[in-house]
Structure 1
Amino acid sequence: MTQKNFLATLLLCLFVGGFGVHRFYVGKIGTGLLMFFTFGGLGIWTLIDFIMIAIGKFTDKEGHLIKA
């Protein structure tokens, strides 16, 4: 079970997801940096992450699902 909050992750992705902040929050520093420098894959990567978080399929750096 992850210690990361579902709602916090979802809101970070929604409001600052283009900068990869939600990925930094869950410990995925490498992909967070990639998102930062590509502006969330020009928004596409951010949208995919948002959907994955919303349906409960997004994981933290240890592979634990972040669910509501």
Structure 2
Amino acid sequence: MNANHPILPPKSLGIAYVLWFFLGLFGVHHFYLGKIGRGIVYLLTAGVFGILWIVDLFTLPSQVRMVNTQRSVGIG
């Protein structure tokens, strides 16, 4: 483990889906995953008018896997 890049605990897919369902149009699930820019876009556009919010229903597992992979090697 590198002192400059400590390994961070993984994010939960279950929590991400709960946040997506209840607060997803505000981008809270993206803030949870550390995707601040995308979260701000969702916040300002209601999930780009709900379209990308629906897309996240299907892509959230791969998004969480990607974030967890990055966190396991000290990125993010």
Whether TM-score is above 0.5 comes out as yes
Larger radius of gyration: 2
Moved over 4 A (4+): none
Q: Distance in 1 between matches of 2:67 and 2:21?
A: 17
Look up the match of 2:39. Answer: 32
* Cα-Cα RMSD: 2.2
| Aligned positions, number | 62
**TM-score between the two structures when normalised by the length of structure 2:** 0.70
Contact 1:17 1:46 in 2 (8 A): yes
Is 1:21 aligned to 2:56, yes or no? Answer: no
Distance in 2 between residues matched to 1:44 and 1:63, nearest whole Å = 28
Kept in 2, the 8 Å contact 1:19–1:36? The answer is: yes
Q: 1:63 to 1:46 in 2, by over 3 A?
A: farther
SS in 2 for 1:57: helix
Give CA-to-partner distance per residue, 1:27-59, whole Å, 9 cap, x none: 000110001000001111111012112xx2223
Q: From 4, 10, 14, give the equivalent of 2:11.
A: 4
Matched, 1:57 2:66: no
Q: Is the 8 A contact 2:10 2:71 kept in 1?
A: no
Cα offset for 1:60?
Answer: 2.5
